[in-house]
């Protein structure tokens, strides 16, 4: 009997995989929904009765699970970089000239593809089966979202054919088609929930949900655009992607080979006009060198490949009336003016609010209440005001006076020299700043404390249980359980999350403190350079300036943060609570030698490998790397297109300037 069941299960899985591919990839279904649902129902039933016969690539996984699962960070086998943006054909021509010069080729073949507006993922397949799906993350490591990606019907769980590599990675974009987006927003509105602003945000939020059954219901799609591995079928991008489509992957049918800049221009012009007919969002196109040999030869920059570039279509604009302006206060005290607009349709969504950035932008465009303003979606996502139709301005309108006092706590605003933003200096008494710091601290990229979202943070603040982030670690079970919509189970989960956060790496703790201008990457660099809280706290301005990616503004902000007695006391309380304020030895670069010990290097320009690899090479041999040239710098390693300001400063200070070849010669000696 089990043999018959196994055969039936094998048939059902094969048939459902075939129907999925026809419907979601080929767009030519051969069966109706009723027939498909009956097959899926039978498969799920048989697998539940015979769990020993379940398969890791069964189509039943498409329906997801309601089991809550924390996302785990996994390192990318290949760096997952972003693309540099271009906005004109002149920049495309410059890109082509640069590629021909670097490759030595008189003419190059390119591949043009539409740029999907969603969330990038990297899918790893072993022996033809999906084993892992990662988000981009910081480019070095991403979140494991395999359970959610398995629910996306256009992603094959098992490949067809037998000529695929034993192990490879394929990258693509998870996006939400307009039909899925509209259906989901209708359902949310009917339930009284706020609709999502746009398909891109909806796709990103859905992919990071911890309920894969809900992910399955939302109708995500996925289109693949790049193949990586050691045994690819062809040495060019176009043919590899065509072959990938034969294995079962959804590949854009609009991908096109172009043999000249003129052909690229024709592709861009066509799709700039026709993109509004597509069933999904696209905000531009990607142009890639087709030859993988030339891709390898030209290599990577620190954050993007040299052999590919993204072209952004001109943003859609609309005219509407400016009704009023709100002033929002962020966690750092920065005040951002936000325009309230008469509703207007723009790039497929209704826009009612738009950013005004700062006082300088308002003054530059002479924006006034009642004006007819020009609204644009930057990157087709974030609405912003880019101008005023003065011909429609009402008589008697007066220039706008920027707010002088904090709209929340009433403190007089300050504007630091050289900055466009105004700030509320009342850090300890301004509610949105306190709330913002708590939300930042508990966030996934920081301490990743589960159970404390915006509503819980607001409740803790209103009840007086928390005034700063250190207070979180003093919370008692009965205090949390007494909050509205809370109970003992929720309180236990929050306390468990707080306890777990004490094992977060030092770099994340440093980022969680919310030091102004010190983002996640900068916090990692500082933590790696100084290794402990005391090391950072006692660092001088010049020592901070020697840290990679730390400039004057960040260095001054770090000094000011630890120079404030309130922050010093807060950090001491966090340290006493058990948070980790020292870096692990595992975080330190693997030491090959100490041949560069005591030497400081600044790395500038483009090299045969990514700039970060050159920095890592120096550090593995005992040297230190810094982001700016100073009197403490021993060597400036200058690559192609090295920064002229760094070269001039190095010459002025007598710092020795060497190239990549000389650096490697030093190591060989």
- Rounded alpha-carbon distances, angstroms, from residue 91 to 113, 362, 378: 17, 30, 19
Which neighbouring-strand residues pair with 382? 378
CA dist., res. 15 & res. 12, Å (int): 5
DSSP at 195: P
Helix (H) or strand (E) holding 439: helix 431-442
Pairing of strands 600-604, 635-638: parallel
Instruction: Give residue 100's Cα distance to chain centre.
Output: 31
CA 65, 70, 74, 80 dihedral sign is positive
Question: How crowded is the C-beta side of 192, counted as CA atoms within 13 Å?
Answer: 0
CA geometry: angle 215, 205, 178, nearest 5 deg:
75
What 3-state DSSP class applies to 200? helix
Phi and psi of 222, rounded to 5°? -150, 130
Quote the CA–CA distance of 142 and 138 in Å, as a whole number: 7
Of residues 7, 69, 115, 661, which has the active-site annotation?
115
Is there a contact between 140 and 79 (Cβ–Cβ < 8 Å)?
yes
Q: What is the token pair recorded at 194?
A: 């706020």
How far apart are the C-alpha atoms of 350 and 189, rounded to whole Å?
14
End-to-end CA distance of the chain: 72
Assess whether 115 carries a catalytic annotation: yes
Q: Where are the alpha helices (DSSP H) in 191-314?
A: 199-207, 212-217, 237-246, 261-274, 292-298
Q: What is the largest CA-CA distance in the chain?
A: 88
C-alpha distance from residue 236 to each of 13, 115, 292, 497 (Å) = 33, 19, 5, 48
Rounded to whole angstroms, how far apart are CA atoms 217 and 194?
18
Question: Which residues are catalytic, by number?
Answer: 115
């Amino acid at each position: 009997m089990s043999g018959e069941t196994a055969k039936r299960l094998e048939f059902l899985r094969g048939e459902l995989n075939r129907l999925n591919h026809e419907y979601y990839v080929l767009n030519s279904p051969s069966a109706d929904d009723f027939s498909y649902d009956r097959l899926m129902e039978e498969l799920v039933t048989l697998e539940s009765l015979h769990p020993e016969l379940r398969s890791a690539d069964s189509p039943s996984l498409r329906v997801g699970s309601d089991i809550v699962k924390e996302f785990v960070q996994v390192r990318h086998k290949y760096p997952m970089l972003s693309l540099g943006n271009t906005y004109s054909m002149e920049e495309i021509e410059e890109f082509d000239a640069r590629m021909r010069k670097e490759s030595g080729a008189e003419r190059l073949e390119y591949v043009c593809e539409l740029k999907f507006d969603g969330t990038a993922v990297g899918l790893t397949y072993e022996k033809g089966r999906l084993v892992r799906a990662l988000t981009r993350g910081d480019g070095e490591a991403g979140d494991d979202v395999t359970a959610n990606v398995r629910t996306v019907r256009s992603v094959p769980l098992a490949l067809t054919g037998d000529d695929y590599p034993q192990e490879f990675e394929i990258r693509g974009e998870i996006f939400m088609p307009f039909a899925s987006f509209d259906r989901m927003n209708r359902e949310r509105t009917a339930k009284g929930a706020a609709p999502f602003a746009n398909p891109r945000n909806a796709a990103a939020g859905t992919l990071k949900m911890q309920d894969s059954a809900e992910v399955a219901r939302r109708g995500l799609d996925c289109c693949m655009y790049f193949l990586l591995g050691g045994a690819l079928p062809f040495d060019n991008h176009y043919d590899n992607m065509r072959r990938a489509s034969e294995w079962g992957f959804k590949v854009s049918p609009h991908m096109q080979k172009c043999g000249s800049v003129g052909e690229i221009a024709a592709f861009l012009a066509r799709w700039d006009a026709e993109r509004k007919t597509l069933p999904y969002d696209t905000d531009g196109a990607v142009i890639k060198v087709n030859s993988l040999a030339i891709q390898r030869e030209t290599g990577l920059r620190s954050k993007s490949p040299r052999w590919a570039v993204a072209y952004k279509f001109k943003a859609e604009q609309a005219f509407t009336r400016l009704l009023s302006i709100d002033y929002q206060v962020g966690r750092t005290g920065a005040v951002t003016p936000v325009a309230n607009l008469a509703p207007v349709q723009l790039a497929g969504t209704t826009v009612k609010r738009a950013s005004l950035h700062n006082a300088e932008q308002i003054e530059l465009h002479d924006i006034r209440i009642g004006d007819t303003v020009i609204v644009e979606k930057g990157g087709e996502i974030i609405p912003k005001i880019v101008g005023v139709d003065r011909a429609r301005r009402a008589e008697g309108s007066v220039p706008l006076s920027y707010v002088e006092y904090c709209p929340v706590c009433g403190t007089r605003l300050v504007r630091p020299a050289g900055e466009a933003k105004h700030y509320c200096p009342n850090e300890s008494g301004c509610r949105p700043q306190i709330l913002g710091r708590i939300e930042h601290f508990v966030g996934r990229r920081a301490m990743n404390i589960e159970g404390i979202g915006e509503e819980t943070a607001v409740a803790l603040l209103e009840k007086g249980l928390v005034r700063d982030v250190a207070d979180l670690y003093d919370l008692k079970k009965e205090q949390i359980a007494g909050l509205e919509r809370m109970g003992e189970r929720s309180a236990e989960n929050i306390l468990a999350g707080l306890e777990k956060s004490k094992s977060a790496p030092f770099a994340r703790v440093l980022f969680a403190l919310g030091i102004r201008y010190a983002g996640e990457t900068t916090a990692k660099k500082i933590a790696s350079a100084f290794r402990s809280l005391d090391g950072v706290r006692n660092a001088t301005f010049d020592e901070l300036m020697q840290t990679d990616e730390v400039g004057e503004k960040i260095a001054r902000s770090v000094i000011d943060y630890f120079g404030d007695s309130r922050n010093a006391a807060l950090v001491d309380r966090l340290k006493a609570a058990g948070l980790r304020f020292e870096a692990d030895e595992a975080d330190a670069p693997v030491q090959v030698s100490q041949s560069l010990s005591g030497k400081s290097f600044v790395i500038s320009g483009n090299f045969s490998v990514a700039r970060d690899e050159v920095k890592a090479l120096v550090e593995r041999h005992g040297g230190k790397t810094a982001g700016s040239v100073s009197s403490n710098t021993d060597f400036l390693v200058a690559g192609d297109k090295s920064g002229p300001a760094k070269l001039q400063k190095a010459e002025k200070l007598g710092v020795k300037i060497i190239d990549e070849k000389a650096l490697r010669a030093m190591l060989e000696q």
